[in-house]
Structure 1
Amino acid sequence: MQTKPLVFDIKSYKNLHRDELYAMLQLRSEVFVVEQDCVYQDIDGKDDIALHVLGYKDKELVAYTRIFPPQTYFKDASIGRVVVRASERKHKYGYDLMKKSIEAVEKAYDTTTIKISAQTYLKSFYNTLGFKEVGEGYLEDGIPHIGMIRTS
């Protein structure tokens, strides 16, 4: 059986429909708060300055990132809140999601330099997408992270 490709939509905060916003926040909470057992403030006041990359399978949101222009979150453009619903990870949608997010950064912000704050256990995943570790590891919300940069 062939994996069904995701359908992507990229929207600014003001263009998100309330049902899209609800699905986005629900997916982030499902993975970052419940699955990873991490109590933190996901609704951080930054969604309104981000572009949102929404990945749908059969009209259901199963993958998501938010992207920021340079000088907003980091000095460089950035991708964050990278999430794929647990039941859909077996299809390797994370690669499609990140490729679409990288394309969105390049198109929206005219840059190929992207910084991320990656969960340390995902270093090799991000390495395959061209990201390289920078600096020392650190704890973010109790989870080991590492800074990573992609330059083209």
Structure 2
Amino acid sequence: CLHDTVGRKVEWHIIGSPACSDYVEWMEKDTFARHNVRFLGVLDADTIKDELLDCDLYIQPSYIDNSPNSLCEAMALGVPCIASATGGIPSIITHGVNGLLTQVNDPYALASAILRLSGDTDMMSRLSSAAMSTSHERHAPETIAKQLIEAYQSIMSR
């Protein structure tokens, strides 16, 4: 139980459609609610923003992912992020600079990163500021236009 480890109550809010959560509960003979896991379902943009602004950490434990919008949204709002180093995620997060990366399918590394970050408010603040800065630079209209023009020029030069 994370409550015993980090000294505070932990709630997991999962946004989106939960695939087979009833089956997992039946197999484990336990409930997610007992472990403070809440499936919020599919939410509108404003509710997602409110959920992100109300959380301490955003976690993206993907097996395969190219460029998850939800990670970019969390970073833009300044939520400290932990994500799996898979697909395009390492091009979004620089480990220890604007978020933390963990190995794919390594629950111990993920738990360690969660404990490390949740216990270090200075690191949370530093990662939060860097995430917002990275996000605003990466998604600025000028940056996107410049990258698009460079891509077209590269194609045309061939």
TM-score range, shorter chain: 0.3 to 0.5
Q: TM-score, normalised by structure 2?
A: 0.32
Hey, which of these two has a bigger chunk of helix by percent?
2
Q: TM-score, normalised by structure 1?
A: 0.33
Whose Rg is larger?
2
- Give the number of the structure whose residues are more often strand, by fraction: 1
